[in-house]
Amino acid sequence: MRQEATIALLGQQNAGKTTLFNALTGARQYVANYPGVTVEKKSGRYSFNGQSTLVVDLPGTYSLTSFSPEERVTQEFLLTQKPQVCVNVVDAANLRRSLNLTMQLLEMGQNVVLALNMLDVATRRGITISVDQLSSRLGIPVVETVGSKGQGCKNLKEEISAVEQLTNSSAYEIDYGPLEGSIKDIEAMLVGTNVSLPASSRWFAIKLLEQDQYATQLITKLCEASVVTELEQKVSEANRCFFDQYGADISDHVINVRNAIIRSIISDALTTKGTGRGSVSKKIDSVVLNRIGAPIFLILTVYLIYQASIVWGYELTNYTWPYLAKTREILSGFLPAAGFIEDPYTRALGLWLIDSANTLLNYVPIFLILFALIAILEDSGYMARIAFILDRILNRFGLHGQSTLPLILGGVFAGGCAVPAIMATKGIPDNRARMATIFAVPFMNCLAKVPLYTLLLGIFFVEDKSLMTFYISTMTVIFALLVSKLLTKTVLKGQETSPFVMELPSYHVPTIGGVLRRSIERTWVYIKKVGTIVVAVAVVVFTLLQFPGLPEDRMQHYEAQAVVALDKFQSKVAGSAYENLASEAEVVGLVNFYNDYRRAKLNAKGAAASRKVAKDFKARNAEFYAVVKPPKGDKDAKAASRALRKLIKERNSLRRDLKEERLSSSLLGAIGRSMEPVTQYAGFDWKINIALLSSFAARESSVATLGVLFQQSDSENASLEERMGDETKAGGATALLAVSMILFFALYPPCLATTVMVRVQTGSYLWMVFSILFPTFLGLTVSSIVFTAGTYFSLTGIEAMSIVYFAALALVIAIGLKSERTNSGTLINNRHSSEVSL
């Protein structure tokens, strides 16, 4: 059998390349990133006539130059990996523009098979294409395909395997007229070096004359320095002469000559009847893009996404959570049983890991819906329109029209999630705006910030709750815009930018298969990428919480108390029928049995399930069951049951005390304390510090940690609000402190999962660290100023919040108006820069 063949799939965006890729490879796909860039690398396999073929789906490009990362990746792949066949997917409805890439591939000397896609759309528009003409003019096989229906795949595979056999294909040569002399000169110089080039010397000569960055770099690397200098001189001289003589750049001349050939091919192979120019798209656009329709449809769309994914998705988690809870039950059954006051490490760590993973998996339904909706928006063509509508506002803050979607996902209204939001920044073509979006998104209202806000508003702002809620939910957009402006003007200044020039594709009805596939694919990436890291960090946080542990004498103190509690229980059941259950050996099992039973009862839905739980537990241990659920008339069992409940209550209280003491003496507690000198200006004591630190692992845990820290004593049964309120108020806490906390939480670094996503999307650990440090610094500064100044001027919480809110709002408006002026300034500059004629 022959070695596995590699083929590359190339084409412009919206040519239906991805759909064809899916049709070719089915489910056997792998997604990775190209080293150093965030361009996605997709590959898959298929088998045809017993020959296995690797298909690499290259990013969508219009031409083979070195101006965008996508183009550089494509060029590099073709030159270094040398695929046996290039399948060039072209949009039959836009053939003229598509052939630009085809010609460049042919000139490079690639074996090309043309996949004439979306012929159905072209036919509907009255375009007839002569496949034979096209094939003979280009000298390559042309296959008609309808990717969305999987039509033409077999033919395509046949042609691919036929072309695979070809070993020496001569490159397509275009006569560049007056440039030929220079091309021949440089070609001769390249041949003279005896260096083996990854493409024809003619192709390199043309690329060098066009002053293509990648080709120039490659030659610089391959050839000797003296030759390189000579070549450089020759190229710049040729460019100067050509410009003097013909008044045009060489690169423009190349494009024009190539395009003239394309026009002649088009006029031979294509006939157009009538002007059916995508009239449906035109009609839709005239409604959704007009001054009145645009905002209505935009708000409606955003609202629908929010409603369907966040609201309904959240409701859906009510149905999926029991399954996760059940999984936890089953898995915890494999762990060693709980001790009386202290659990074995393996159990504690195991449960901690399962809980961390469950928190993450709980969001899966939300993501599935969200990603499906985004896929629909993208495939339908409306996403490009959203960018078109909002680009002007966002551009003023360093963002891009296509930043809208990430910002929506991040949580414009009540809650979103920064993880999918940062994933969605991938589509933004302008690198600086993309980076700005990545760092702005975590300032939006993430779902998990809400519980802490609710808690603090419930304690300190009972009267002003609605005003505060309004402040918090709208403040996020203001902060996000300000941050992106600040970063664009500072750390991101040097990042590459590209203009907002994008195609508004015709509207398409998305295919169900395509939408589902993308939704599942992206959710899976989320689970895989985020899951592994969250679990890893859960271990670290667990360790920080557990060690160094309690000193011997404190442990003895708790053990002694446990003995007292056990003694009491034993004395109560002494002499009854259940005396033997109170032995040291049995009692821990009994306590665990009771807890397991209670949990199982809670998880059981409906009478039948409840009966089944009862039956199962009775079968597990009939004697234990009698104490847990005393049968009618059994007085001994009743008394034992009462004693058991009292014992469990005491045990719980002991365990809580132990946990708190361990937490405060743990490494994390020490860190929280060591931060007090800095955080005191923001009003945070060590307990709040710990809560904020632990919220870094997952935002949800901040409220849980606060719950542990503000323990409730046995007698009272107050809610966390009341307890925290009493304790903090007794300690001098005010609504001002709450404002300080809210502001810090709003500006606080993204959770761990998000920072991992930052790493994935920026491709750099440095940016990941930045995404943690910058908001921490910003949050602490703002909170400290507000708390310190607020204390000095004795402001109330609501006063402080109002001042911050309106100051930020005023700043946003000022910047928005100011940027308008600078923008029109650059516009004039552009007009006079680099006067090069076509």
Partner 1 sequence: MSDDRKQRSAGVALFLNDVLPGQRVLVKKHHSAGAIRQRLMDLGLLADTPVDVVRTAPLKDPIQIQLDTYNVALRRAEAATIEVVEIN
User: CA nearest 60: which of 46, 79, 76, 73?
Assistant: 73
Q: How far is the CB of 365 from partner 1 (least distance, A)?
A: 35
67 binds partner 1 (CB under 8 A): yes
- Among residues 6, 38, 51, 100, which is the contact residue for partner 1, using CB under 8 A? 100
Please tell me the number of Cα atoms within 13 Å of 633 on its side-chain side.
0
388 binds partner 1 (CB under 8 A): yes
Neighbours of 765 (CB within 10 A): 11
Q: Which stretch binds partner 1 (CB under 8 A): 33-41, 51-59, 193-201, 826-834?
A: 826-834
Dump the DSSP string for 115-170: EEE-HHHHHHTTEEE-HHHHHHHHTS-EEEEBGGGTBTHHHHHHHHHHHHH----P
261 binds partner 1 (CB under 8 A): no
- How many residues interact with partner 1 (rule CB under 8 A)? 54
Residues paired with residue 112 on neighbouring β-strands, in sequence order: 86
CB-neighbour burial class of residue 835 (10 A; exposed 0-12, middle 13-18, buried 19+): exposed
Burial per residue of 728-763, b for 16 or more beta-carbon CB atoms within 10 angstroms, e otherwise: beeeebbbbbbbbbbbbbbbbbbbbbbbbbbbbbbb
Query: Within 470-489, which residues bind partner 1 (CB under 8 A)?
Result: none
* The two structure tokens encoding residue 403: 């930043």
Q: How far is the CB of 259 from partner 1 (least distance, A)?
A: 6
User: CA nearest 169: which of 259, 78, 85, 64?
Assistant: 85
Q: Please identify, using beta-carbon distances, which residue of 32 and 838 lies nearer to partner 1.
A: 838
Query: Within 295-324, which residues bind partner 1 (CB under 8 A)?
Result: 295
107 binds partner 1 (CB under 8 A): no
- Among residues 236, 256, 346, 543, which is the contact residue for partner 1, using CB under 8 A? 256
Q: Please identify, using beta-carbon distances, which residue of 97 and 629 lies nearer to partner 1.
A: 97
70 binds partner 1 (CB under 8 A): no
User: CA nearest 698: which of 365, 361, 437, 426?
Assistant: 361
Angle separating helix axes 584-603 and 635-665, nearest 10 degrees: 90
d(CA 297, CA 388): 13
Q: Which stretch binds partner 1 (CB under 8 A): 44-52, 216-224, 493-501, 597-605?
A: 493-501
Q: How far is the CB of 220 from partner 1 (least distance, A)?
A: 19
What angle (nearest 5°) sits at the alpha carbon of residue 17, between those of residues 301 and 20?
105
Q: Which stretch binds partner 1 (CB under 8 A): 405-413, 502-510, 522-530, 657-665?
A: 502-510
Q: Which stretch binds partner 1 (CB under 8 A): 189-197, 357-365, 739-747, 819-827?
A: 819-827
User: Is residue 425 within 8 Å of residue 403, measured between CB atoms?
Assistant: yes
User: CA nearest 338: which of 557, 556, 625, 651?
Assistant: 651
Cis peptide bond N-terminal to 198, omega within 30: no
274 binds partner 1 (CB under 8 A): no
Query: Within 224-253, which residues bind partner 1 (CB under 8 A)?
Result: 252
Q: Which stretch binds partner 1 (CB under 8 A): 129-137, 381-389, 434-442, 567-575?
A: 381-389
- Among residues 5, 255, 302, 550, which is the contact residue for partner 1, using CB under 8 A? 255
- Among residues 28, 240, 277, 568, which is the contact residue for partner 1, using CB under 8 A? 277
- Among residues 52, 271, 466, 826, which is the contact residue for partner 1, using CB under 8 A? 826
All residues at 6 or more sequence positions from 599 whose CB lies less than 8 Å from its CB, including other chains: 329
d(CA 566, CA 554): 19
Q: Please identify, using beta-carbon distances, which residue of 62 and 526 lies nearer to partner 1.
A: 62
- Among residues 241, 491, 502, 525, which is the contact residue for partner 1, using CB under 8 A? 502
217 binds partner 1 (CB under 8 A): no
Alpha carbon separation from 145 to 53, 88, 117, 120, 453 (Å, rounded): 19, 12, 5, 9, 54
Q: How far is the CB of 489 from partner 1 (least distance, A)?
A: 18
Q: How far is the CB of 599 from partner 1 (least distance, A)?
A: 56
Q: List residues binding partner 1 (CB under 8 A).
A: 62-63, 65, 67-68, 93-94, 96-97, 100, 125, 252, 255-256, 259, 277-278, 281, 285, 289-291, 294-295, 384, 387-389, 391-393, 395, 401, 498-506, 823, 826-827, 830-838
